[in-house]
Amino acid sequence: MILKRIFPAAPCQWFVSLVALALFAGTTHAQTARTYSISALDISQVEQGWGEPQANKSVEGHTLSIGGQTFTNGLGTHASSEFILDVGGRAESFSAVVGIDDEVGKGKGSVVFKVLGDTNQVFWESKELHGGDAPVAVNVSLADVKQLTLLVDGGESIDSDHADWADAKVVMTRGRPSVFSSLKEEAIILTPKPSPKPRINSTKVFGVRPGAPFLYTIAVTGDRPMTFVAKGLPKGLKLDPKTGCITGSLKEKGEHVVTLRAKNALGEATQKFKIICGAQIGLVPALGWNSWNCFASAVTAEKVKSVAAAMVSSGLINHGWTYINIDDFWEVHRDSKDPTLQGPQRDADGHIIPNPRFPDMKGLTDYIHVRGLKAGLYSSPGPWTCGGCVASWQHEELDAQSYGQWGFDYLKYDWCSYGQIDKGDTLPGLQKPYRVMRAALDKVNRDILFSFCQYGGGNVWEWGAEIGGNSWRTTGDINDSWSSMAGIGFRQNGHEKYAGPGHFNDPDMLVVGKVGWGPSLHPTRLTPNEQYTHISLWCLLASPLLIGCDMTQLDDFTLSLLSNDEVLEVNQDPLGRQAARVAQNGQLEVWAKDMEDGSKAVGLFNRGYSETSVTANWSELGLAGKQKVRDLWRQKDLGEFTGSFTASVPRHGVVLVRVWPAK
């Protein structure tokens, strides 16, 4: 990968030196210079991969302690972490003592601390530090620097990366440092409005088990009214020509190629559609919504219904979005004082009883199905869910039967309190609860996608498919920060060999739109470019795409992110490949995946802090000769290119293209 920085080289008067902190702390050598502690600034703006930033404490709230030495002042954070300060060209120097906090134990964690200037010039970089290592002092001259960035890079794994900037201070000649506030980006909509003519966007391949109820909605954009035709539908299936819903069931195993046709006053679209009746379902990643990242413990049946209605009224259903998944808190809580979470947990025969917020599960899934959508539910193999509600331990078969009878099509199964049953320190132990629920679901005459949620334990990607998972979480929970989203997304490299039709890696749900994990919501904290990165990367990764926001409050920008059919096609490609990183140079990365038609989807990413050009070399993509390049977000051909393609990529942004051999 050839990289060209757009910004000029750093001024040569900047220099970096490592000196003992004692030579520096708390003193002034210019009459007017004043020292400011980093921990006294607005540290809520620190982006970090886990937990909350802490003033004068470690990320877990203990006294700051590095290599046995304790500190009363400093910032406790967690990789990957970023804190950007505005020092306005009026700072003299920055100093700190850094290291992994002793709370994680010797040898644990692995981080590199970095201090960056205006143009992301790296002023100083620590060696790789681990738990128990001695503190390392940093003292950096900041003459003329306007923007100071404190970074902690956690590398591929951020486990135990509890990072301390102890005694972190800026000496200012004039004024005060503040938290950088000019990173506001305009939310530019790149996705063109859909054409009024018909375009078929639904998945091109669909797995169903013999005998199981079939539900497939032909997703089509374009003006209504629209009529639908399906030529070559096998016996047992029928199409509603007005809604485009195909229902029924197939008796026998086999493959059927159907021609779908959608027609309106302005034209007609056709699309081949392959139905594979056999053991495997979920042949492409699930597209849908999940209640957790917005409502969390505040979910109710009414909210779920309003989201299902919004999936239709927003038009997202016409882009292929299908699942409406209820996460935790549809069950009775073990000890909540909230009456809407109280009630009998199970009936006399052991059947689970939903909490009073969900009085009619069958009515709820009917409401969802009648709109051409599908319904999902959540449980844990332990006695309690993560939120402390009733879970499936020793009731797996009964619960699977209830899910089937109620009409659910998707189950997220979250390890959580199963830790009380098995420590999860052996592979058979980790696999057992998922095998048990797999067997229970197999007895239900309904196609229920099975989503493992155990945060990547035991390298689940290596065995998730073998024991019947349609997807498996590869990480802990995501949040709406750059460090969380990018930290998770860019760590997926290497998992690509385990993804394929019917079984996909799941780096957790989307954090665009209004999110909040509870009753009060806020707009995602990701910048517009970070959101483009999020959607592009998740599409390249062939991840299940589960929208995490309140769909009734969709703004135009969020809608545009979720309705770009050429981008979604990257995710839904029938080959089921997951992208891998093909080139990396510092913060610049190129990821690519093979598409069924022989083309490649390629993401040019800039994880850095200012606009930079990124090049994808054909040789790194296994290509040669002239290639046609199309910008997928803008849905625009960019021309033919020989040898490589270069694009200017904004801070934390992406350019997503598709590349075909030129004719």
Positions in the binding site for ligand GLA (CB under 6 A): 292, 327-328, 385-387, 414, 453, 477
Nearer to ligand GLA, 273 or 413 (CB): 413
Query: Phi and psi (nearest 5°) for 512?
Result: -115, 160
Burial of 193 (0-12, 13-18, 19+ CB in 10 A): exposed
Q: State the distance between the two ends of the chain, measured CA to CA, in whole angstroms.
A: 25
What's the CA gap between 470 and 227, in Å, rounded? 33
Place of tokens 């934390």: 652
Nearer to ligand GLA, 422 or 477 (CB): 477
Query: Phi and psi (nearest 5°) for 240?
Result: -85, 110
Give me the catalytic one of 223, 422, 477, 555. Answer: 477
CB of 476 to ligand GLA, least distance (A): 7
CB of 327 to ligand GLA, least distance (A): 5
Give me the catalytic one of 414, 447, 480, 508. Answer: 414
What's the CA gap between 219 and 271, in Å, rounded? 11
Q: Which of 491, 352, 387, 381 is nearest to 439 (CA)?
A: 381
CA quadruple 510, 512, 513, 519: dihedral positive or negative? positive
Query: Phi and psi (nearest 5°) for 529?
Result: -65, -35
Nearer to ligand GLA, 216 or 452 (CB): 452
Nearer to ligand GLA, 415 or 609 (CB): 415
What's the CA gap between 77 and 527, in Å, rounded? 21
Q: What share of the chain is helix, strand, coil (3-state, %, to 5)?
A: 20, 35, 50
Q: Are 409 and 443 in contact (CB under 8 A)?
A: no
User: Cis omega before residue 80 (within 30°)?
Assistant: yes
CB of 453 to ligand GLA, least distance (A): 5
CB of 353 to ligand GLA, least distance (A): 19
Nearer to ligand GLA, 304 or 453 (CB): 453
Token digits of residue 155: 């590398």
Nearer to ligand GLA, 504 or 532 (CB): 504
Q: Which of 522, 521, 495, 525 is nearest to 507 (CA)?
A: 495
Query: Phi and psi (nearest 5°) for 561?
Result: -65, -30
What's the CA gap between 551 and 405, in Å, rounded? 27
CB of 477 to ligand GLA, least distance (A): 5
CA quadruple 318, 319, 323, 329: dihedral positive or negative? negative
What's the CA gap between 90 and 32, in Å, rounded? 11
β-sheet bridge partners, residue 642: 626
Q: Indicate the residue whose CB is closest to ligand GLA.
A: 386
Q: Which of 605, 473, 587 is nearest to 535 (CA)?
A: 605
Q: Are 399 and 354 in contact (CB under 8 A)?
A: no
What's the CA gap between 372 and 246, in Å, rounded? 9
Nearer to ligand GLA, 164 or 508 (CB): 508
Nearer to ligand GLA, 191 or 297 (CB): 297
Token digits of residue 390: 């009733």
Place of tokens 């003519």: 197
Q: Catalytic residue at 414? A: yes
CB of 517 to ligand GLA, least distance (A): 9
CB of 455 to ligand GLA, least distance (A): 6
Give, in order, the Cα–Cα distances in Å from 642 to each of 295, 376, 647, 659, 660: 49, 47, 14, 11, 12
CB of 499 to ligand GLA, least distance (A): 20
CB of 289 to ligand GLA, least distance (A): 13
* Continuous segment of H or E residues that includes residue 188: none
Burial of 164 (0-12, 13-18, 19+ CB in 10 A): buried
Nearer to ligand GLA, 506 or 569 (CB): 506
Nearer to ligand GLA, 100 or 549 (CB): 549
CB of 393 to ligand GLA, least distance (A): 16
Q: Which of 247, 245, 214 is nearest to 446 (CA)?
A: 214
CB of 414 to ligand GLA, least distance (A): 5
What's the CA gap between 204 and 248, in Å, rounded? 19
What's the CA gap between 18 and 113, in Å, rounded? 13
Query: Phi and psi (nearest 5°) for 227?
Result: -120, 150
Active site (catalytic) residues: 414, 477
